[in-house]
Amino acid sequence: MGVAVNLLDFDAAGLMAYFAGLGEKPFHARQVLRWMHRCGQDDFGAMSDIARSLREKLGTMTGIVPPAVVSDRLSDDDTRKFVFDVGGGNAVEAVFIPEEQRGTLCVSTQAGCALDCAFCSTGKQGFNRNLTAGEIIGQLWQVNRVLGAGAGLAAERRVSNVVLMGMGEPLANFENLATALRLMLDDNAYGLSRRRVTVSTCGLAPMIDRLRDECPVALAVSLHAPDDALRDALVPINRKYPLRELMAACRRYLRRAPRDFVTFEYVMLAGVNDSEDHARRLLDLTGDVPCKFNLIPFNPFPGSPFRRSSPPRLRRFAEILIDAGVVTTTRKTRGGDIDAACGQLAGRVRDKTRRSGRPPSAITAIHEVRSL
């Protein structure tokens, strides 16, 4: 990173502990925190209410170093995809989605992903490493700075919501995720409501419990199947934490969650998981978990064996859920022309898993389940 200590790696408690080690008072840490995150400042010399001696000390010993923006592409629908260099030949992606009343940033937590979900472009890239806390929060830092620099940019177009749904499984990088979450929620940093920050997981049940205990925010679960046989093939982590354990973890999470429901994400795959029977069994599975469904039209990527469900099929699936009284939305595909849509984020990853595409056995298993 070019500096011994990157101050973006610290939440408030960590920064105060670091300052204490320098013989500095806690209020100086809060001052620097505000300059870094609320003001987007990386120049200690510009921190005008901090003593010159401390600024000089920080300038010598530390730095404020977010991942560098190497690409910034704008979609026809105003979705904006950022590519960040995280070193070692790896690049991760984040996506800003502007809407009339809010601006949502989709953030990455890992360089690649080890979970290898069948329908996800990120999983095809393999896995290199966890991102540091500074690399996670640095995506928000950089995007806020870029958006704030635009002449005449309306305040509501800046980041008001964050979803940890980019590259990687957030709960597999828990310590760094939690540090970044605390910064997002801190009034001296970004001051976001817990309801406006969402962590999405493929189903690491024990870590859902830990998130509930340490930093509960809105929870989204990538479900994608109503039974273990199909989910084992689509989402391999299900073999370790099957649906019974996952649903129990969701019920426990709601005891402390800022929202009174869990969002279940469900990618609609033609002929795989989109029948009326699948919808009815999905209702049976989630009947005792207060929830809403977010149906996601599959976004194709090179080499994928899947197809998007037809609009009539998707509408009928949604009707069954809605008629049962479950709030159900269909995600509008955004940024598809710049490969920024859900499931398309790939970045650039030096794979340490030596994965070379999906093993044929996984695709075979999906087709076997379909034939049952």
Catalytic annotation, residues = 93, 342
Residue 298: how many other CB atoms lie within 10 Å: 23
Q: How far lies 190's CA from each of 40, 165, 196, in Å?
A: 10, 19, 11
Do the strands 80-87 and 90-98 form a parallel or antiparallel pair, or are they unpaired? antiparallel
The SS3 call for residue 335 is coil
Q: CA 208, CA 216: separation in Å to the nearest integer?
A: 9
Length of the chain, please? 372
Nearest of 126, 129, 133, 87 to residue 107 by alpha carbon: 133
Do the strands 291-297 and 328-330 form a parallel or antiparallel pair, or are they unpaired? parallel
Residue 267: how many other CB atoms lie within 10 Å: 29
Residue 329 · residue 293 · CB < 8 Å = yes
The dihedral of CA 113, 118, 120, 125: what is its sign?
positive
Q: In degrees to the nearest 10, what's the CA dihedral of 195, 197, 200, 205?
A: -60
